[in-house]
Each structure stands twice: as structure tokens, then as C-alpha cells.
Structure 1
């Protein structure tokens, strides 16, 4: 009896990102039945429940619901910094590369990229990049971490290394903000509670629209003072939402029902990496979580992506010699296995 085909041009598998997931039937039902109010006027009960759950999970006093992680990151930068100072962040971080210079345009601060010898910066790298005080140089005002690190391929920073970075920041009286868009994946990979990772930062952003599979939304968590100030910034940025409980219900459902299955995505990513590594002399960055970066021996990423799409596998051209694949809720293990075989064949053909 022939095996069923899960991946084909007619039934494509989208591995471009874990943001491509669609709300499950149960999630849609939670959204439809959500108790709502006007969150801008006097509060939305479902949004309040999500914020309380997130604050407790991260071990923080309060949390605030945002339309997006980028807005939450920028609100944190606004709260922690003053114009004319600089934010120290990883050289490949999201806040540096993918928030269209929001720190400069919105907050009046510049980013100082920190590059270390490993995939992400360490405590010693941070110390080396903090400027000697000078009337000619901007003062530092904030340290930004990213865990997992998207640009590095979903790399996880350990709790111990995060604590070391936090200690260096404290030596210089600098607050720490954690871009934890995929902190759920980091905690899963490390087998540590979320609160252990969040304790290494003064403010933490978590996204519900990545591996957890919600359609939209993020939370910023921190002290009561930080969140009170962030609430005003969210209003200034246009992030106040009315019956936001419809969206918050999806995020809360995702956190309560999809968090525990993230290890499945990590296992699929490891399998994909194992199958395609070496095909056409391509090399895979061993995945810590659900992101697989494939480095090509020549700048043929566009051709590989196009050929794979013809076969039903959708990928991201990260740069001309690197491809990204991300496993997620809507990519079952069997489909990923078929996609891996198709991608290996594609790499061998295009890179021959």
C-alpha cells in the first residue's frame, strides 16, 4: 500500500517561520467565548487574566499586553533610557536589525552592537564594549538580551550566562531588558522554569505569536513601576486596544495548551538538521530549539528556496548563502520528515 504524501506542491509545508501558524479550533472557540470589556477605559477581564498569568509565570510584579513584540521592546527601551544615550545589544539582535531603527526614531537612543567570539555575546564581551566614560562619547543606559536568539539560529543562552551578563550590567548601574520572543523555547530547551530566565532581567518581553501559535500579541513584564510607565508609552505608541480580550483569549489558550508541546518542535528541527546536513556541501548550524540555519557553500539561497517551493517546502532566504527553516505547531513530525528529504534532494541538485 503506498504511503500517504504529506508534502507536495498541492499540500505545501510552510517552514518560513513559526509565525505562520493558524488558530486551532479550540483557540477560535476561546476567542469567540471570551469575556470582554473596554481595556482602554476600565479594563478587559480576559486581558487582565492573561497579564496576571504572564506575570506569575515570569515571576514579575505585573505584565502588560501589547499588539506586538516589537512595540513591547520599544516601550521597554523608552522606559529604561533617556535620549542621547546608547543601548548595548547583540550585533545580530532583533532590536538592532529588525525593528527599523525604532530605538533611534522613537526613543532617541543609539544601539551599540556587541559582538563576541561565540554565536551570541557573553559577559566578557559586554564588559569590553562598555565605553570608558568620556565627554565625547554617549553614556550607556540599557543592556538588551535576546533569548532564544533568532539571528543566530534559535541559540539559547544559559541562565548562568545571563546572570553573569546581569552582574556586569549592575556593575555599571545599567538595567537589563530581555527580548524573550521565544523565551518559551529557551526554557523548554534548558528545562528550567520561565521565572529563572526572567529573573536575569528588569523587564521581559514574551511573544505569543511564535511557537505558541497565537495569531497576535505579546506581553511586557516587570516591576509595577516599569509597567505603569510602559502603559503610558503603549498609549503614546497607539497600542491601546478596546475589546482586546478576543486576542488575549487566543494568547492565554496558547500559553496554557501549547507551551508543553514545544519539545516536539525542537525534535523535528534536530531531525531536519540531521537529514540535510552535508547535502550539496551545505552545513547546518546544530539547532538548540526550533530554528534551523543552513549555510551554503555558495550564494545560491534564492535558487534553493525557489526550487524547494516548487516541491512544496517553503523556506526563508536569510541571506544569499544562508537558508532558515523553522518548525512549529502546524508542522507535524511526519510532514517535517518528508520536507527534510525533499530539501536534501533540492540542495544536492542546486548546489551540484
Structure 2
């Protein structure tokens, strides 16, 4: 993107820091398909312990960890329950149908946050006409919900319901550390509520590649074989795993800076005439709706001309995401551009 200096498209655009590059270049590696890469093993063990889970599996992407989990927890003709905004449904290429041959029951939670009261009526009875309800998937934070996040107090009753009804519970933790920093919850408590957790390293934490799937030892043994069938077996993957370890050690607590930056952008957007509303900012995602007469794609184009990259997120919505490659000076400059942008309305 020539001319773009302030990249707010996503927190996936970050580059490794000098310290992360050093950790990558000095990593001890082996063939991970043979189980011989000690740095990969260290990352998997570290994250499993962090979330009080038995085992972990390093994969190239969060889409892969989510789809492996869904395949582990379902059989063909089963049904997955999730919100209609869920990444596993909207942005993973139809993988639930393609890989697991399962259908999806969609809920409509406020900002993507679903509750036991929404879930229970959608759990199918044992009836020859219905798919078997076998899995509930939560997303934390909710991308389409503007970074809204679950508190553990909201997760516990969903876990209880799933236990009573015999369903598995998986967490798409694409930005789980953003949620933990925002809520003050401890990751140690997550293991008791979820059968599977996907932890992404390449978003807010700033690693270049990778997610880790967490679960029981039995589930991860199954997941290893599914990963192989998906083409996700990697060899000297420790170079990538080292970046993840560095990110966990150095980039978690600083996420609060990204959250503050997002709130500052939100405050500026609320002051301009071309924005009609901004979703409440909980973490590092800002989603705003353009006012009547303006076009989201036009706003994005004009911001790009001024040096800000962001994305349309619907016909009338725009998304901005803060991350560790954005300094306070860059955010101040972005705010100045937002406040002085004068797009033309098209009635």
C-alpha cells in the first residue's frame, strides 16, 4: 500500500520486533512432524499451562485450529451452535460444512455475545428429523461485535448448560489476550470451562504466524492426525514458535495501550459529521457507521489518500484496528486526519 503510513486495517499487519527476530534466529529446532522440535513443544506446553489445559498443538492459523477443533467435536450430520457473526461461520471458507459435514444453528446475540437463554431453545431433541446438536462455539473477542468480550461470569453458565445437555464447548480465542487484559480475568480459569481453545498469536500479540489449539491429551492426539490431513504438519516450525513465546512473554500487558488508542480514535470519530454512530470500544477494534448520504468505501478511500489504511466492514460501516506497530504519535496524527476530513455527501 504505497503512501500508507498508519495501517489500521488489522492487527495482523504487524512486523516482528527486533527482540522477536533475535528469538526466532536463535531458536532450537527439529522436525516437528517427528515430534523433535523442542521450541514448538515449549510453546505448546507454555500455553497449555497458561490456560490450565492438558496439551496444545501449534498450527499455521486460527482458521485451522478452529476447524480442527470442530472436526474433533462433531460427527457428520451434527449441528454447531454459534452466533451469526462468528468467524467460524462467516470467514473460514465454509469449513464447517466442507471439513466436518455439519450444519450450523445461528443465534443473534448483541454484538455477537450469546447466552444460555439463547442457546438452550436451539438444542435439538433426539429426533430423526433433526441434526444432533453437539457443539457450541464462542468467539472472544467478537470481531464483528467491535471487539466485545465475554467475562468468565458469562461463560460459566454456558459451560454448565453444555455439560447438562452433553454438548462440547469450544472457544475461538482469536483475541483472547485482549479480552483477558480488558476484563482482568485469569487465563488459568478457562480450562475448566472449555473442551477446546484456539489461541491466536499473530494478531494483538504480534507474532508473524500461528495459533495453538488447546485441549485434553486425548483430543490433541486426534487433532494431530487431523492437522496432518489438513496439510498443517510443519517441520522446523520452532523458528515460528519462538516468535509466539516471545510475544507471550513481552506483548500481553501492553495490549492495554492498543485499547486506549482505540478509545481515542472512537472519541474523534464521534465528533465528525460523516459518522452517525460508533460501537462501544471494549478492546482494540473500532467499528463505525457512516452517516446517511455518505459512502463507507468513499470514506476509506479518502482516509487512504491522507495516509490511513482501514477497511469497509459492510455497506455503511468501517473497521479500524489498533496494534503494537502504532505509536501514540501515529494515533494522534490519525485523529487529526479524521477530524479534518471533509468528505462530500451523496444524497
Return the TM-score normalized by structure 1.
0.94
1:140-179 to structure 2, matched below 5 A, reads 140-179=133-172
For residue 43 of structure 1, what is the aligned residue in structure 2?
Answer: 36
Aligned match of 2:240:
247
For residue 131 of structure 1, report the CA deviation from its aligned partner: 2.6
**Structure 1 residue 278: Cα displacement:** 4.1
Q: What is the number of equivalent residue pairs in this alignment?
A: 343
Distance in structure 2 (CA, Å) of the matches to 1:78 and 1:329: 33
Residue 132 of structure 1 aligns to a residue in which SS? coil
Greater displacement, 287-296 / 189-198:
189-198
Distance 1:29 1:90 in 2: 40
1:337-348 equivalences in 2 (<5 Å): 337-346=332-341, 348=342
CA distance in 1, matches of 2:270, 2:345: 13
Q: Distance in 1 between matches of 2:99 and 2:112?
A: 29
CA displacement at 1:33 relative to structure 2: 0.7
Q: CA contact under 8 A between 2:83 and 2:112: conserved in structure 1?
A: no
In the alignment, which of 282, 285, 290 is matched to residue 296 of structure 1? 290
- Secondary structure of 1:206's counterpart equals strand
Distance 1:286 1:303 in 2: 23
* 1:49 aligned counterpart, secondary structure: helix
1:93 aligns with 2:89: no
Partner of 1:4: none
Q: 3-state SS of the aligned residue for 1:40?
A: helix
Show the counterpart of 1:318: 313
After superposition, where does 1:206-245 map in structure 2 within 5 Å? 206-245=199-238
Which sits farther off after the overlay, 98-107 or 130-139?
130-139
- Cα deviation, 1:261-296, whole Å, max 9, x if unaligned, reads 100000110111011114124211111000000111
Q: Report Cα offsets for 1:209-232 as digits up to 9, x if no partner.
A: 000000000000011111111111
Q: Is the 8 A contact 1:304 1:350 kept in 2?
A: no
Return closer, same or farther for 1:252/1:182 CA change in 2, 3 Å cut-off: same
CA contact (8 A) 2:84 2:107 kept: yes
Structure 1, unpaired ranges of 5+: 1-8
Q: Which deviates further from its counterpart, 152-161 or 9-18?
A: 9-18
Q: Give, in whole Å, the separation in 2 of the partners of 1:136 and 1:255.
A: 47
1:179 counterpart SS class: strand
- Give the equivalent residue in structure 2 for 1:116: 109
RMSD, aligned CA: 1.5
Aligned to 1:58: 51
Q: 2:62 aligns with which of 60, 64, 69?
A: 69
Q: Contact 2:4/2:304 (CA < 8 Å) preserved in 1?
A: no
Matching residue of 1:25: 18
Aligned to 1:135: 128
Deviates more, 1:282-291 or 1:297-306: 297-306
Q: Say which SS state the counterpart of residue 104 (structure 2) adopts.
A: strand
| Structure 2, unaligned runs of 5 or more | none
TM-score, normalising length from structure 2?
0.95
Which of residues 281, 285, 289 is equivalent to 1:287?
A: 281
Instruction: Give the secondary-structure state (helix, strand or coil) at the position aligned to 2:32.
Output: coil
Matches within 5 A, 1:3-14: 10=3, 12-14=5-7
